[in-house]
Amino acid sequence: MVTFQVDMSQMVISPQGVHLAGDFQAWDPAATLMTDIGGGVYSITLDLPPGVYEYKFINGDTWGTDEIVPIACGIDDGMGNINRFVTISADVVLPAVCFGQCNVCQPASFVMNGNATSLGSNCYNVTPGLQWQNGAIWSNTQIDLNMDFSLQFVINLGTNDAGGADGIVFVLQRLGSAVIGANGGGMGYSSFGTSLGVEFDTFYNAGYNDPTYDHIAIEINGQVNHAFPECIGAPVQMSPTNANTEDGLPHIVTINWDSTTQTLRVYFDCTLRAQATYDLVNNVFGGEPLVFWGFTGATGEMFNQQRICAVPNAMITDQVDICPGASTMLSAGTSVNGIYNWTPATYLNNPNIASPIASPPTTTVYTVSYLDLCFTTVTQQVTVNVLTSGPACFFLPVSLANFEVKTFHDELFFEWSTYSEWQNDFFTIEESIDGYSFQAILEVPGHFTTNEHHEYRAEHTRRREDAYYRLLQTDINGQSRIIGQTHFVKGFSDDYIIQYFKQQNLLQVMGNLEDAPYVVEIFDVSGRLVDQRSIVSQSGYVQLFGLELNGIYMLVLKKMDGTSLYNGKVVISK
């Protein structure tokens, strides 16, 4: 049985549901519906024989709504389609991967559409300074309107005042990250019938009842005519000090959403300019709180180069769920001086950067504070919720890196290490002579719950018989599991190493020997005794110096009471 899982938490789910398609079901996009198991994760378990399979996840039930698999984790089917692939050798629960991404969901980045282009460093040309341009950039994560958000970005509306047009709109919508509006006075926004828009309008359109100054207005559902009721925040001069903002200068814009009062506030040059109180979730988005966010812009006969610089991973999450042992990236907005302070600092890779990696073993509320672009102290909280149950996580109490059994003379060395542990009380080494009936021989305490790499080592006396060894793990509730493979270790009685050292004319027997006298007998190939000595063993070695032999012989090692320990061929080549 193979369980496939996909994290759809950054997507608006298709009414047709989430599907899996692969070469194991003839690539049918509608045949294999996945189940919502919570936390944005969709899952399906299939009975597949061992083999290599290619597959994709689909947000809907038709081709065209399938994910774009990054080449980094995909395989080209020979026709330019990149698919995921997996090798199945046993029952397995595959970890939940982010739709369209390689592993867990990463923070937002912007998707460019139409004439929009990247300028690097989180900056984009929404439109170039040309006639009849139309661009849009969309974050590929979504905003949850049931939570507060604060987004800050830098807008540059170009240098043409008299001949400049048309403006940029901050937009919330539910159509995805690949949509584009129309050019002209609608600023690329007027096409979106279910939306919120905050327009930064630099062109006077009499037909839209624009004021003559460059202005901000708050609108819904693509309506840019301020005379209509969809204008929920009346036009106001954009800059508190200047009728013209096509000045080629960067301007800081802050957009805050208070989900409790359903109030949207728009700041320009760090001054509150416009606000609207409106039930966006119910009155615009049909009760759905998750929306895409981004910017549209357009030009017409008149134009400007219109730019946005926005941190794509500005904090828009209040809570993120992770599986035990997993990590997540936290995100703060832009700090004016680059200084961030995350608390607590525990389980963060760096508490002083915008986007630290958090790997807490238990649910932790992190708080970040920094000075935003307006030199206002921003304090934001994000809860990293470590799931303790539920099907979203494959609960592996111990993530084992390796388990080795090594031998040296009569000693056994057990070595193992873990990547992470979850409520792990102790390990047990078990031994078996027959491979079926095991008995505990060693107990080693674990590290309870940890995301750090831990190495373990234990010693035991090697048996004379062949034996099997395995590693068990017991959690704090007393439940034990076998982890790692069972190792076969040959009995020690056979394990004598005979070596001849030509330079010293030394014949050496190494094995499980006490510091006591032993008898060594050497026979030639006809069975004639050619040397016999009584030698005291030291540290497991019996050493014969000064041999007057050359050729192939039989060596017999005995205890003083005559018990034979070893007999085997030895070559003495001088």
Residues contributing to the site for Ca ion (CB under 5 A): 161, 201-203, 205, 210, 214, 244, 246
Name the minimum Å distance from CB 115 to Ca ion: 18
Nearer to Ca ion, 168 or 386 (CB): 168
Within 10 angstroms of residue 564's Cβ, the number of other Cβ atoms is: 11
Q: Which residue in 180, 179, 171, 111 sits closest to 141, CA to CA?
A: 111
Distance between CA 295 and CA 192 in Å, rounded?
12
Cβ–Cβ < 8 Å for 355, 107 = yes
Strands (E), 89-194: 92-93, 97-98, 110-114, 117-120, 123-127, 134-144, 149-156, 167-173
Cis before residue 91, ω within 30 degrees of 0?
no
Nearer to Ca ion, 202 or 450 (CB): 202
| C-alpha Rg value of the chain to the nearest Å | 36
Name the minimum Å distance from CB 187 to Ca ion: 7
Name the minimum Å distance from CB 171 to Ca ion: 15
Name the minimum Å distance from CB 185 to Ca ion: 5
Distance between CA 425 and CA 443 in Å, rounded?
10
- Amino acid 294 reads G
Dihedral Cα 26, 32, 37, 41, nearest 10 deg: 40
Name the minimum Å distance from CB 127 to Ca ion: 14
At residue 428, φ and ψ (nearest 5 deg) are: -130, 135
Name the minimum Å distance from CB 210 to Ca ion: 4
Nearer to Ca ion, 200 or 403 (CB): 200
Nearer to Ca ion, 205 or 296 (CB): 205
Please give the full DSSP string across 214-255, using - where no structure is assigned: -EEEEEETT---TTSTTEEEEEEESSSS-S---SS--EEEEE
Nearer to Ca ion, 203 or 566 (CB): 203
Nearer to Ca ion, 98 or 224 (CB): 224
- Amino acid 305 reads Q
Nearer to Ca ion, 23 or 161 (CB): 161
Structure token pair of residue 380: 């934001």
Name the minimum Å distance from CB 139 to Ca ion: 25
Nearer to Ca ion, 135 or 356 (CB): 135
Nearer to Ca ion, 195 or 202 (CB): 202
Name the minimum Å distance from CB 183 to Ca ion: 13
Name the minimum Å distance from CB 196 to Ca ion: 18
Q: Which residue in 410, 430, 413, 435 sits closest to 488, CA to CA?
A: 435
Cβ contacts of 64 within 8 Å, gap of 6 or more: none
Cβ–Cβ < 8 Å for 158, 152 = no
Could you tell me the sign of the dihedral formed by the alpha carbons of 469, 474, 479, 485, in that order?
A: negative
